[in-house]
Homo-oligomer: A and B are copies of this chain.
Amino acid sequence: MQELRIIPLPLSGDVRPGDSLVDKFLNALKRRRVSLVKGDILVVKHKIVSKAEGQLIRLDTIKASARSRAWAIRYKLDARVTELVVQQSKKIIRRKNGVLITETRHGFICANSGVDVSNVDGGEHALLLPENPDRSAANLHRALKKRLRLSIPVIISDSFGRPWREGLTEVAIGVAGMKAIHDYRKRRDPHGYLLRVTIDAVADELACAAGLLSGKLTRTPFVIIRGFHYQPGHGSSRQLLRPAALDLFR
């Protein structure tokens, strides 16, 4: 069995609305003198995707409702950010200690609908999740195929908290060019014993592996993972979302 390589590709300069991510990525490859090979996977932090797609909201355009203002006053928050969090959700799952755990329009369950005010210049803007991260991943996947004649799976990642365990880990919010879940339910383990339930969330594990190098304190939004035997396929981050009816925790 072959080893994996997790290759960081730092960004030079910032990403602005309208920028081409594929150009940014190809430049980052060139600067590091890295050539992609068949089997490589690209993991991209969602923030630069959101920035390139113009998902920045000026906070002074947001008018907070009375409920958002009351919540923000109680927990010393910016009511306009609270309002945006509510607007970006389709359901509020928990509301406690100043944190809103929401189900986003996309179906992700995370803190504050993924709305981010850190890492955005000045702090007077908020950065939303991409409108449709699977589409963003598919666009990048398609552009790379055209430019490099290679089918490179693309994962767009974000850092989510989770119940019961401390700390953030990366998750895949957009997937293209590979199956997000690898399903071993009908196979036999090395003892010949039938595996009952082994569905691995490989897109999340790949996001975590990349996250070791694309932490919040670095400017490394692009990471290449080389050597992982992924299962090709259309792929979608929706494969990672458990339907509410099957979730023991809702």
Contact = CB atoms under 8 A, between A and B. Distances in A.
Contacts of A118: 189, 193-196
A201 interface: yes
A33 interface: no
A57 interface: no
Interface residues of A, number: 71
A149 interface: no
B211 A200 contact: yes
A72 to B, nearest CB: 15
Interface string A203-219: 01110110111011111
Interface string A168-206: 111100000000111010010111011110111110111
Contacts of A250: 163-164
Interface in A135-178: 159, 162-171
A232 interface: no
A90 interface: no
B193 A167 contact: no
